Structure 1
Amino acid sequence: MDEPMRRGGRPRRSSAEVLADAAAELFLEQGYARTTVDQIAVRAGVSRATFFNYFTAKSDVLWLDLDAAVASLPELLAASTEPSAVRAVEEALLAAARAHDPERVPWAIAQAEVMGIGPELVASVATRVTAQHATVAAFVAGRTGDHPAALWPQTVSGAMLGAAGAAFGVWVADGVAREPLVHYVAAALSPVAAGLDEV
């Protein structure tokens, strides 16, 4: 169901977005380690239980936008009619980048040093990267008849997600001068996909 529209034509922010923004404010003010879930809930004007309706851990609020961007990846891959598995992965990653709200920049990357985000951030990133890698490798394996742990599915997944991840990092770092995310992802994926598709 679509979010209700404001008079300016923009959808209202979801409760998850309100919580993520409240958390980012607190992380910037007092640091990640000193901020509690209860404080985030109070700042957002919701209950602690509401927080856990949307997030399983405090670190999850850092990745709301990235999680949303890649949530459709399995569906995009499954629906692809592109004969080349490499090009199908490229198309799916571009579609995910295209759907990302340009105004939602992950604070965890943009302000990590100021927020004092440490090992928990690294662990939460690793969990997400591992899940994405497994999804792409399984898709490629399904197309080629290989096992997902075989060299080719692992290579395609690692190379394509690595390029997309690098593009995402540069997009964040470019600040107010940044162009749409899909431009960065397309520029990063194009030579990688071309090289892999020739193999």
Structure 2
Amino acid sequence: MTTPPVRPGAGRPRASSRETLAEAASELFLERGFAATSVADITTRAGVSRSSFFNYFASKSDILWAGLDERIEALVVALDAAPVEGGDAAVAARIRDVVAGVGADFAPDPLALGIVHATAMGIVDELEREAAVRRARIARAVAAHARAAGADRIRADVVGAAWGGAVLAAIEAWAQEGAGRTALAPFLDRAADAVSTAIGGAAEGEVSQLRVVVQAAAFEQTLAFYRDVVGMPQAEAYEADGGARVAILAAGRATLEIANPAQVEFIDRVETDGDAPSDRIRLAFQVADADAAATRLAEAGADVEARPRVTPWNSRNARLRGPAGLQLTLFQELDPH
């Protein structure tokens, strides 16, 4: 980790009264609705004075957002203090480290409860409006750091908007999945992966694209299988003299996985019980539903070498043999909890 994680600020009033107020407010929002609950109702339920309420919160809305606001404030400070040297990859790694700190020890709070019960509390519009404010605050901080590191204004603003959206999307997904059952950190990590893929900040090097070239005698059949059945959109196509044809299919993010023989044997045992050894080159496609994809490919003529199964690293993998003799792995990343 290149930058210390974000931690909420110290020096605030003791947490017990604040937590009591937050708990009382959450109960009342559920019982009566947000609009029908007054500050006086909250302080009466909590057994504290009105002045004590305003020691902790500026308004009813702040009860929902106070925990996240502390972390956003710390994020802003951390990004402002972070070094700005290095290329795009170094900048992206620093931003990711700081954003990851938002999820450190983030316990379920009124915001998570409000997201799950927004309709019952009558705060759907309130949440949307206030979430936009927090997205913008994160976006400004990230964009400022990116500009300080040398990014032009458009790229910096796009990067900032992506990270602002990622943090709020992760919090909403965490709440909906049951914030008390799992940590926020894995959801932030998944959101960060999405940002890295979308803006191309995951890695830096001389190679800007990985392209696998496959010779296929049955050109039309092979093209239809990978384009229409596997689901890889056709990006380009060309023809030349003598019947020469080529089609280039888009496959999302491309990586090159290099494994030694021991790793290959291990993967073969995990994916196939060792009875369908890997070719020297095997294509792996990440899909949303490995079972459905494997069924679809098999119905289109692929040979199933190993049916979908859960791996020790919490993915669901299947292995097939497709047109042009290509060995395929389908893998679905499962939820972290």
Query: TM class, shorter-chain normalised?
Result: 0.7 to 0.9
What residue ranges of structure 1 are gaps of 5+ in the alignment?
A: 4-11
Query: Which residue does the alignment assign to 2:201?
Result: 196
Does residue 137 (structure 1) correspond to residue 139 (structure 2)? The answer is no
Q: Secondary structure at the match of 1:91?
A: helix
The letter for the 1-side match of 2:75 is: L
Distance in 1, matches of 2:179 and 2:75, equals 27
Residue 59 (structure 1) shift: 1.0
The letter for the 1-side match of 2:201 is: L
Does residue 168 (structure 1) correspond to residue 171 (structure 2)? The answer is yes
Query: Which residue does the alignment assign to 1:34?
Result: 36
| 57, 63, 66: which one aligns with 1:64 | 66
Query: Which residue does the alignment assign to 1:20?
Result: 22
User: Could you state the TM-score of these two structures normalised by the residue count of structure 2?
Assistant: 0.50
What residue ranges of structure 2 are gaps of 5+ in the alignment?
A: 1-9, 205-337
RMSD: 2.5
Q: After the TM superposition, which residues 144-163 of structure 1 pair with which residues of structure 2 at under 5 Å, given as runs?
A: 144=150, 146=152, 150-163=153-166
Q: Secondary structure at the match of 1:144?
A: coil
Q: More deviation in 31-40 or 64-73?
A: 64-73
| Identical columns (%) | 35
Deviations 1:9-62 (A, max 9, x none): xxx843222211111100011111110011111111111122122212211111
**Alpha carbons of 1:24 and 1:177: their partners in 2 closer, same or farther (altered >3 Å)?**
closer
Deviations 1:136-178 (A, max 9, x none): 11121111164xxx21111111112222222221111111674
Deviations 1:51-89 (A, max 9, x none): 122212211111122223323102222343473222211
Residue 112 (structure 1) shift: 0.7
The structure carrying a bigger strand percent of its residues is 2
The structure carrying a bigger helix percent of its residues is 1
Distance in 2, matches of 1:22 and 1:177, equals 18
**Are the equivalent residues in 1 in contact too, given 2:20–2:46 (CA < 8 A)?**
yes
**Are the equivalent residues in 1 in contact too, given 2:143–2:159 (CA < 8 A)?**
yes
**Alpha carbons of 1:65 and 1:198: their partners in 2 closer, same or farther (altered >3 Å)?**
same
Q: Bigger relative contact order, structure 1 or 2, given CA contacts below 8 A and separation 6+?
A: 1
**Alpha carbons of 1:59 and 1:48: their partners in 2 closer, same or farther (altered >3 Å)?**
same
Does residue 93 (structure 1) correspond to residue 95 (structure 2)? The answer is no
**Alpha carbons of 1:188 and 1:119: their partners in 2 closer, same or farther (altered >3 Å)?**
closer
Residue 118 (structure 1) shift: 4.3
**Alpha carbons of 1:127 and 1:160: their partners in 2 closer, same or farther (altered >3 Å)?**
closer
**Alpha carbons of 1:120 and 1:191: their partners in 2 closer, same or farther (altered >3 Å)?**
closer
Q: More deviation in 125-134 or 22-31?
A: 125-134
Q: Secondary structure at the match of 1:179?
A: coil
**Alpha carbons of 1:191 and 1:127: their partners in 2 closer, same or farther (altered >3 Å)?**
closer
